[in-house]
């Protein structure tokens, strides 16, 4: 006689009014939670570097010299990247939960996740991962050959990240390498190649990610220490804020250089200054001994991503207007 699966339950760090628990059919909820659909912040953080790069590469697309007023990132490309970010973030979370389910069962914040709670078995999670990877491949195949190769290469990083915290105090750096790969993909999807501006976006995104994920890591530092897992939150400890200034300032320098090498308009730098103020305010608000505050500050990086995207779009439009003959 087979044992019925355990009843689905709310995940500890999901919002009480999340759409999965409120509206999704009961049978799909464990899988949506496995891919973190009830916590969309990770999808935003994966998506913004893609959108930044697509917007920054817009002058390379057709119509730049003819219709600068109408020049915006191509909607279909944005849509494909949005769906791809949702799917591949889900795949990454599924890999993470498959590899970490024994650790997750011993951590208060993660023991209610689908695998450790018993709502989804490891075998079911592996099958679900296969479906997500197939969907991701279908999306990737819509782009040029260089982008397909570049996207395929990212799978190595996706698989490495869950293992990094077992061997290094810098898993946040591995996450940065992984989460910001879209800064390379977006440019490649538009131009079919790479150049200095997306590389600078990529490095800046890595600094940004190390910063915000260090803040996030302070939620679990006690449990991580007990389990023998490593993080920058544990490494930096009470010296976290000086390190945050270093990483966020490094990100802003790289984003400034990306704008300069892409020769976009001055309004971009105004938007970047607003984004810089937002990052400095994050550091001021961070209380490493308050998990709820750490989570709130971490989530506010969705807004930083939106500010930078708007700044890039405005900057490219502005430079297009200035270069258009009267």
Query: pTM of the full predicted structure?
Result: 0.90
In tens, the pLDDT along 289-322 reads 999 999 999 999 999 999 999 999 999 887 655 5
Of the pLDDT bands very low, low, confident and very high (cuts 50, 70, 90), residue 4 is: very low
| Strands (E) located in 198-249 | none
Looking at residue 9, its pLDDT comes to 66
Neighbours of 292 (CB within 10 A): 9
Looking at residue 12, its pLDDT comes to 65
In tens, the pLDDT along 183-206 reads 999 999 999 999 999 999 999 999
Under a CB-based contact definition with an 8 Å cutoff, are residues 39 and 110 in contact? Answer: no
What are the helix and strand counts (H, E) for the chain? 16, 0
Whether 67 shows a pLDDT value over 80: the answer reads no
Which whole number is the average pLDDT over 99-116?
85
Question: In Å, how far from its chain's centre is CA 176?
Answer: 8
Gyration radius from the chain CA atoms: 20
Of the pLDDT bands very low, low, confident and very high (cuts 50, 70, 90), residue 51 is: very high
Least confident of 19-23, 191-195, 212-216, 236-240: 19-23
Q: Selecting from 3.30.460.80, 3.40.47.10, 3.40.50.300, 1.10.357.140, what CATH number does the domain 25-320 have?
A: 1.10.357.140
Percent of the chain at pLDDT above 70?
90
Whether 267 shows a pLDDT value over 90: the answer reads yes
Looking at residue 326, its pLDDT comes to 40
Looking at residue 71, its pLDDT comes to 61
Looking at residue 306, its pLDDT comes to 98
Which whole number is the average pLDDT over 150-168?
91
Cβ-proximal residues to 120 (8 Å cutoff; 6+ apart), any chain: 5, 30, 31, 34, 114, 128
Whether 70 shows a pLDDT value over 60: the answer reads no
Q: DSSP of 56-121, one letter per residue? A: HTGGGSTTTTT-GGG----HHHHHHHHHHHHHHHHHHHHHHHHHHHHHHTTSTTTTTSHHHHTSS-
- What are the structural domain ranges in the chain? 25-320
């Amino acid at each position: 006689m087979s044992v019925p699966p355990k009843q689905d339950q709310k995940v500890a760090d999901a919002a009480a009014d999340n759409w999965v628990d409120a509206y999704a059919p009961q049978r799909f909820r464990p899988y949506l939670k496995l891919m973190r659909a009830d916590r969309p912040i990770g999808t935003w953080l994966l998506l913004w570097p893609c959108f930044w790069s697509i917007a920054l590469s817009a002058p390379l697309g057709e119509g730049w010299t003819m219709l600068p007023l109408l020049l915006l990132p191509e909607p279909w490309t944005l849509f494909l990247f949005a769906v791809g970010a949702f799917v591949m973030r889900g795949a990454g979370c599924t890999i993470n939960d498959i590899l970490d389910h024994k650790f997750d069962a011993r951590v208060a914040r993660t023991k209610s996740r689908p695998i450790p709670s018993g709502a989804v078995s490891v075998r079911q999670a592996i099958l679900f991962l296969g479906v997500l990877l197939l969907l991701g491949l279908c999306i990737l195949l819509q782009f040029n050959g260089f982008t397909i190769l570049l996207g395929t290469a990212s799978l190595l990083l996706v698989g490495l990240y869950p293992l990094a915290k077992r061997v290094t105090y810098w898993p946040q750096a591995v996450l940065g390498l992984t989460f910001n790969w879209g800064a390379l993909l977006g440019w490649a999807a538009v131009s079919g190649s790479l150049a200095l501006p997306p590389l600078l976006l990529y490095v800046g995104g890595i600094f940004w990610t190390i910063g915000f994920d260090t803040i996030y890591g302070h939620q679990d530092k006690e449990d991580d220490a007990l389990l023998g897992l490593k993080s920058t939150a544990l490494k930096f400890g009470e010296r976290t804020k000086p390190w945050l200034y270093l990483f966020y300032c490094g990100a802003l320098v790289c984003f400034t250089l990306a704008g300069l090498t892409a020769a976009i308009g001055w309004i971009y730098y105004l938007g970047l200054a607003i984004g810089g103020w937002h990052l400095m305010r994050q550091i001021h608000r961070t209380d490493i001994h308050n998990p709820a505050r750490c989570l709130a500050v971490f989530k506010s990086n969705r807004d930083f991503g939106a500010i930078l995207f708007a700044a890039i779009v405005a900057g490219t439009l502005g430079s297009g207007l200035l270069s258009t003959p009267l």
